Structure 1
């Protein structure tokens, strides 16, 4: 019985001692845990500060990157805008130069065409003018021919009257001058042959009568030169008569 009681006492003591030991251990464990918690808190605080610094660095970097992106986007837009303005200006200049070249080419072609047309028009006007002048000249000649013929007829009658008067007065030199006028009048006469033959006959007759009356030396040298000149247009058709006249003239000293 005593053994049992002693055993129980020992158990109780052991239990109490064990409880005290456990309490002491538990207290030490609690202190250690508290210390670890404090350490962990300090570590957490340190990590939190590191995290805050890291986040601030990240935010700053993101802000810097965003600013760079905005700056680059703005610079790219500004550059593109300037390039677009330059390209637009270059395109406008190219278009303006091309339009100027086309305008100059068209103007030159128009001026050349206008010049060619002007030359053709001037030539056509000149031809028309010449045709009209020729037409008017022919018409005028046709209208004036009878008048000219009548005038020549009147002149011839006047010259023949003067010739007869000079022959009566024995002014043989003056009579020969009048005969030269008759010859000159016969060059363009419608009745060329008969009037020319009559005038040449008057020259021969005048020289012959002057020789018979010994008046050859009174014929002036300029009259002889005028006779020689007036005979030239008729040498082909009246060569024999003109040769006789030259023989008569050669006898004048």
Structure 2
């Protein structure tokens, strides 16, 4: 029993000791906290004083900066004004110098252009004169050629007209002689018919046409054949035969076969007449 009481007493005493130590620690901690709070308050007051000092210093600095900025702004405005004034003077001076330079350059360009155009005008005038001379020569040559060509055409036309007129005259003359020849053939006077045929041959040379020549040669050959067959006819005169021989020599070479045949028949006719 005593042992239990002693144990309880010891436990209670331990609890009291523990509680007292805890309370003492709590008191010490509270005192320490109060001390810390006091220190913090003092530090806060010091910081507040420092902040006030800093604020006052910053205010002074800001005021100084504002004054400095104002002075700088005034100086900048003055510098800008001076710069603008100086630039304006320089611009006006440069503008005047550029105007003078442009005027001189313009005068030089005008002089060069004037000289160039005068040279070009002289060259063009010279070329125009040469072209005019060439054109005049070409036109004159063309006119001369045109006139000469017109004259040639006119001469050719006149020649054709003359040829046609001559051909018509020859045709009339040839037709009349042929009619006369046919009249002598109808009368059976072959010597006179041969004379008419010889005249037809002469007329055919004037026509310069193969048809008349062929007709005349054909008539001559037929007349000689008729004279050779009809010996009772009067023989042709020697002058007519000689004239016929002369006319036959004028016949072109391409008709030589017919001419040789006529000459051979004429020779036989003359030989037969001499034999009779």
TM-score, normalized by the shorter chain, greater than 0.5: no
TM-score, scaled to structure 1: 0.43
Structure with higher Rg: it is 2
